[in-house]
Amino acid sequence: MIKKKITLILVFVSTFIYSTDNYFYKVNLTKVENDRLTVSLIPPNILENESIFSFAAMVPGTYEVYDFGKYISNFKVKGKNNTTITITKLNVNEYKISPANQIEEILYEVDDTFDYCNIPDFRKKIVFEPAGSSFEEGKNFSINTHCLFGYFKNYLNKKFILEFEKPLGFYPITGLTELKIGNTKDTISVFDYHDLVDSPIMYAKPDTATVIVGNAKVLVGSYSPNKLITANFIKNTLEELLLVQRDYLGGTLPVDKYAFIFYFADKIPLSGSSGALEHSYSSFYVLPETDSSYLKQTLRDVSAHEFFHIVTPLNIHAKQIGEFDFNNPQMSEHLWLYEGMTEYAAHHAQCKGGLITVDRFIEEMMNKYENSIEQYNDTMSFTWMSKNVLKDKIHKQYNNVYEKGAVIGMCLDIMLRDLSDGKYGTQNLMKDLSKKYGKHKSFNDEDLFNDIEKLTYPPIGDFLRTYVSGNKPLPLKDILNRIGILFDSKIKTKEYTFGNPEISYNPNTKRLLIASVKEVDEFGKKLKFKKGDELSKLNGKELTIENIQSVFSEFYKNIKEGDWVSFEIYRPKKNKSYKIKTLKAKAFKVDVVRSNQIKINETMNSKQKQTLRAWVGNN
């Protein structure tokens, strides 16, 4: 049954041409020593007497220089007919080899990146797991190919043939199609080094599922060490989303095959993070192995984002990406397009497809806006940040691409709908840009805004130059007014509260915890909260981390001036026991300052209604 599911997505190739002008790599997955694999390479014909063999310093999508060469050890070169080969290590990633035209075989060992290892500077920069590799003997091999395989400079465009000797019952989960599958040995072929780096491979005893989305076959592969999350669960969670994304892209996808590769970690990753890395025909995820019911929306949000990368940068990208320099990477100015527009589309598609409500979608966008102005430099030019994102001081601003970058996408979409009487939005724009450029045609950074303006309207070009390339804060009040939403950056109100203490959680007692009382309001002072108090009940109703939202919603719904409000709390004592107390006060409204508040304009005109309908409706 599982084999049949795999064969739906894999195209078997009966023969491979072992030309001497290809890279021919061998990896034995049945032999792992100290979390290391041994790799051998028979190189293509090298014409020069002296050549440089390189491992990637950085790969597309990471926006971080990891120097993957530091995971390589015992680098050796055998010469033809016992020729002596001289190896000079130039830096952490590069080896000068001479005479290069006499190389018979290159051998080296590779450490995985998921576990601690004794290599220089390992702790200085931990590889984000979706960009790394894991070697778990007899269990799982999650391989980002840039971790294992190097290349000769000036020879990136040669074919790469990979031979994997594997444990019995293991299969490769990958978006690649040129494969020859055997019982104990597989051969995988890719067109060149760019395609190789773009193609993660996970080896394990297969847990897979497939789904047809428009014109594409989509493979889902899962490795869950404790079998808490299955590929079938992921498929069922994502299937409706994928159909919505198909419709969002106009009914067809720009790929024929795609693979979702999921690795679920049963311990906290070294990087302390979880997430995914996009590729043209696949995406690789490292997520916590937890109860599947908690993962549903996370799976949808993360997968929606990565899947939409089949549009950009696959079909819309600058020369810096199309001609990526793996050892001296140059950044494009347009992270707002690659990551921001992708993040926006991931949520917008779910709204238009009915998977989330309009209110939930707008709330998500407003949260992103608030995060962008509170946590990042809101006056920093987004294009300048993108161009300089590899610099340590600027890299701190990178995650704003998922916050302000998405809000930029929202602003563009609303403006386009407004200017076109609802007929044209960012969905149309991305499709037109894909037609203009495409997978094999890169744009010049400096031309993009002009090209977008020619496809749309002069105000769109002005917006991009003023608020994306420029340093002015986004004109959110004007943008939201176009869809009949009133925006205030700050308003003062009188509201009922429960005191405004900072709430945390004590996993040992499983109770909500007062982490700080620095920001308590007048009502909180009346209740006399203390730091360390643990909340047990509100007006007699038990409080838990699971029901806190519903209990407080009911509280705010029914509270009236002068009503008694009581909290049963556990107050810690010096001997590590608790004293149970009841804190009481009569309800009254307190002064509250709210930031970035929105509400529907009750008197919106027909133009605003039209633009709003076009923005979130099904069209």
- Please write the tens of the pLDDT for every residue from 60-94: 999 999 999 999 999 999 999 999 999 999 999 99
CATH number of 319-485: 1.10.390.10
Residue 20's pLDDT band (cuts 50, 70, 90): low
- Please give the average per-residue pLDDT across 514-542, as a whole number: 92
Per-residue pLDDT tens over the stretch 199-235? 999 999 999 999 999 889 999 999 999 999 999 999 9
Q: DSSP per residue over 181-238, as a string?
A: --SSEEEEEESSHHHHHT--EEEES--EEEEEETTEEEEEEEE-TTS-S-HHHHHHHH
CB 119 within 8 A of CB 71: yes
Task: Report CA-CA distances (Å) from 109 to 41, 76, 112, 131.
Answer: 12, 10, 10, 19
Q: Mean pLDDT: which of 49-58, 119-128, 267-276, 507-516 is highest?
A: 49-58
Least confident stretch, 13-27, 34-48, 314-328, 558-572: 13-27
- Please give the average per-residue pLDDT across 43-58, as a whole number: 97
Least confident stretch, 37-51, 83-97, 247-261, 466-480: 247-261
What order of strands is seen across the sheet that includes strand 185-190? 11-12, 178-180, 185-190, 160-165, 23-28, 36-42, 103-111, 72-79
| Cα 41 to the center of its chain, rounded Å | 32
Of all helices (H) and strands (E), which one includes residue 284? strand 282-288
pLDDT score recorded for residue 19: 52
pLDDT score recorded for residue 4: 29
Dihedral pair phi/psi, residue 488, rounded to 5°: -125, 130
Listed by start position, the domains of the chain span 2-204, 211-295, 319-485, 497-588
Per-residue pLDDT for 1 more than 50? no
Q: Which residues pair with 136 in a beta bridge?
A: 140
Per-residue pLDDT for 586 more than 50? yes
CATH number of 497-588: 2.30.42.10
CB atoms within 10 A of CB 34: 11
CB 46 within 8 A of CB 100: yes
Of all helices (H) and strands (E), which one includes residue 247? helix 231-248
CATH number of 2-204: 2.60.40.3650
Per-residue pLDDT tens over the stretch 391-401? 999 999 999 99
Q: DSSP per residue over 404-450, as a string?
A: HHHHHHHHHHHHHHHHTTTS--HHHHHHHHHHHS-TT-PBPGGGHHH
- Please give the average per-residue pLDDT across 33-37, as a whole number: 91
Pick the CATH number of 211-295 from 3.40.1620, 3.30.70, 3.30.1940, 3.30.2010: 3.30.2010
Dihedral sign computed on CA atoms, order 324, 325, 330, 331: positive
pLDDT score recorded for residue 5: 29
Residue 522's Cβ-count burial label (10 Å; 0-12, 13-18, 19+) is middle
Give the span between the Cα atoms of 280 and 190, in whole angstroms.
13
Give the span between the Cα atoms of 434 and 315, in whole angstroms.
5
pTM, 2 dp? 0.84
Least confident stretch, 69-83, 196-210, 520-534, 538-552: 538-552
- Please give the average per-residue pLDDT across 189-197, as a whole number: 96
CB 613 within 8 A of CB 422: yes
pLDDT score recorded for residue 358: 94
What beta strand segments (E) does 557-614 contain? 564-572, 578-586, 590-600
Domains 2-204 and 211-295 alike in fold: no
pLDDT score recorded for residue 592: 84
Give the span between the Cα atoms of 577 and 569, in whole angstroms.
13
First to last CA, the chain: 39
Least confident stretch, 6-20, 79-93, 321-335, 464-478: 6-20
Per-residue pLDDT for 258 more than 60? yes
Higher pLDDT, 509 or 24: 24
